[in-house]
Amino acid sequence: MSWHVVAKVGEIEPGTSKVVTVRGRELGVFNVKGDYYALANKCPHEGASLCKGRIIGLAESDEPGHYRLTRQGELLRCPWHGWEFDIRTGQSWCDPVRTKVKAYHVKVETGEEVEKLGDKSKGPYIAETFSVSVKDNYILVDV
Amino acid sequence: MTDVLDYPATEQANKPVKPGIVDCDIHPSSSSFEEFKPFLSKRWWDHLNTYGMFVRQGFKEMLAFPRMQAEVSRLDAWPPSGGPPGSDLDFMRQQHLDPNGVEVGVLIPLRLNSGSQRNIDFGQALVGAVNDWQLEKFCRPEKRLRASIQIAPEDTPGSVAEIERRADDPHFVQILLPPRNGDPIGRERFWPIYEAAVAAKRPIALHVGGVAGHPVSGGTGWPSFYLEEHHSQVQTMQSVIISMVVEGVFERFPALKMVVIEAGFAWLPALAWRLDAQFERMRSEVPHLKRKPSEYIRDHIWFTTQPIEEPDRPDDLTRAMEWVGYDRLMFSTDYPHWDFDDPAHAIQVKLSDENRRKIFSGNAKKLFNLGQA
């Protein structure tokens, strides 16, 4: 593992990403509200280029007709089948098989609380993640 | 569109490719109705511009159930040339045909709602235009692509005439019949179409599309969500299969072949078991049937794979495939639609080399007689 400069600070606006290739791997480097994260640019489901997906929030509901959008800008939605991934961790939040079960047990939590819920609400896939740090106004990725 | 700053062109370069696949479901599109103008008479071009489409729903420009993504499409499938996904042949080559090793791709045109027209002369004009357009825009410039003979089955004689008109052109490999109509498609009024299909040696292909005017739920009322509508392809194809079998179409036309596109197949065993069981009890009601429903199904119907079922236990899918038959499944991607199945990733069950070859190319080549194309 070693650090690689992938962009200058300021180059990636909050809410956007940049696709880079480091040691043969294609990564997406994201600016989420000023913090930087990197994900492999390949959906673990069927291999789509994840970074062509939309950056979205988490839609939640207690009952039909009442919806909340939380964690705006913190999730990435695959451009093909819509699998949702937490940009910070690569954890998937969309599992078609368990959607019904999840809806049945839903309770209202803030975005931070949702992160603490653990495996019961998480999908089966985890996108490969890479740590990112900012040194001297450059963005580096550890690959 | 997305916020990504640059898109490397090599995104799919390292993907394992199985060269020589046949993709049985590719959706071609148009940048505007102007593309069809050369193929419409002045009378019908004026009609289209004056009266527009007659679609039996509340919206003129969109479908009743808003799709998960615009144009039902992958977000990355919008061509740089500006039209909708599927409208740019060069981009289709670059994004799909080349990297995914597509040897033959079968076009399923859904544009113009031809089959939904109640003005049947207008419907026939649109069908003819769509069929000409497939040839000129896609099949003549790109040897890998084949066309479907679109028909508007509300007009049986017109549909027969369209099939006969295209029968000598090897670019057309099947007859695309919209499954949601005024009547179930097994009814006798559609039989001349099946007679023409047998004479033309082309299978009947069923893909949902257009607006029938009925709830897609199959008689239980209008569903609320796109998720429900997406699943309704299964109910529709089940109804269609039941109609074709029980009305005796396959008994009357033993050489007729049918392709069920984009509705899955893992539900087929249960459907056939139930039909067989009831057939034993009610045989005297349908004396025109000489064989068990499951026998007609197995002999006459092929299924495309996308969007393939993804059970928690992959073995469940293997069992379904074994029941349906490895010689009845044909790979499809649905490119450029959002629920695209990638040939390198989509079928996540173990397949022998022989069965893999059958599903990814052999069955389609045989059914469509592609060896000679």
Task: Give residues with Cβ within 8 angstroms of B64, minimum separation 6.
Answer: B57, B58, B211, B229
- Predicted confidence at residue B210, as pLDDT, reads 74
On whether the CB atoms of residues B310 and B318 are closer than 8 A, the answer is no
Q: Residue B325: inside a domain, yes or no?
A: yes
The 10s digit of each residue's pLDDT in A104-126 is 121 223 334 434 444 444 555 77
CA B328 to chain CA centroid, Å, is 15
Instruction: Show residues of chain A in contact with B338, CB under 8 Å.
Output: 80-82
pLDDT band for position A34 (cuts 50, 70, 90): confident
The 10s digit of each residue's pLDDT in A84-95 is 888 888 888 765
Identify the contact set of chain A against chain B, taking CB-CB distances under 8 A. 11-13, 15-19, 21, 26, 28, 41, 45-49, 51-55, 79-82, 96-97
Q: For the domain A3-142, what is the CATH superfamily, name and number?
A: Rieske [2Fe-2S] iron-sulphur domain (2.102.10.10)
Q: Residue B231: inside a domain, yes or no?
A: yes
ipTM above 0.85, yes or no: no
Helices (H), B52-183: 89-92, 120-133, 156-166
The pLDDT of A47-53, averaged and rounded, is 89
Q: Residue B13: inside a domain, yes or no?
A: no
Q: Residue B61: inside a domain, yes or no?
A: yes
On whether the CB atoms of residues B124 and B158 are closer than 8 A, the answer is yes
- Predicted confidence at residue A12, as pLDDT, reads 87
Q: Residue B11: inside a domain, yes or no?
A: no
Q: Residue B4: inside a domain, yes or no?
A: no
For residue B363 the two structure tokens come to 């069955």
> Whole-number mean pLDDT of chain A?
75
- Predicted confidence at residue B4, as pLDDT, reads 33
On whether the CB atoms of residues A123 and A114 are closer than 8 A, the answer is no
User: Which is nearest to B321 in space by CA: B274, B281, B264?
Assistant: B264
As beta bridge partners, residue A20 has: A27
> Residue B38, preceding bond cis, omega within 30 degrees?
no
The residue with tokens 């989509």 is B346
- The residue type at B192: P
DSSP letter, residue A92: B
User: Which is nearest to A31 in space by CA: A46, A48, A11, A56?
Assistant: A11
Range of the domain at B350: 21-372
- Predicted confidence at residue B18, as pLDDT, reads 58
Looking up residue B356, the CATH number of its domain turns out to be 3.20.20.140
For residue A94 the two structure tokens come to 């969309």
Q: How far off is chain A from B5, nearest CA to CA, in Å?
A: 5
| Number of separate domains in chain B | 1
Is pLDDT of A99 > 70? Answer: no
Across the 373 residues of chain B, what is the mean pLDDT of every consecutive 10-residue run?
A: 34 50 97 95 95 76 79 94 96 97 96 85 96 98 98 95 98 96 93 98 93 81 90 94 98 98 97 96 96 98 96 94 97 96 92 95 96 55
- Predicted confidence at residue A139, as pLDDT, reads 74
Q: How far off is chain B from A14, nearest CA to CA, in Å?
A: 10
Report helix, strand or coil for A91: strand
- Predicted confidence at residue A100, as pLDDT, reads 25
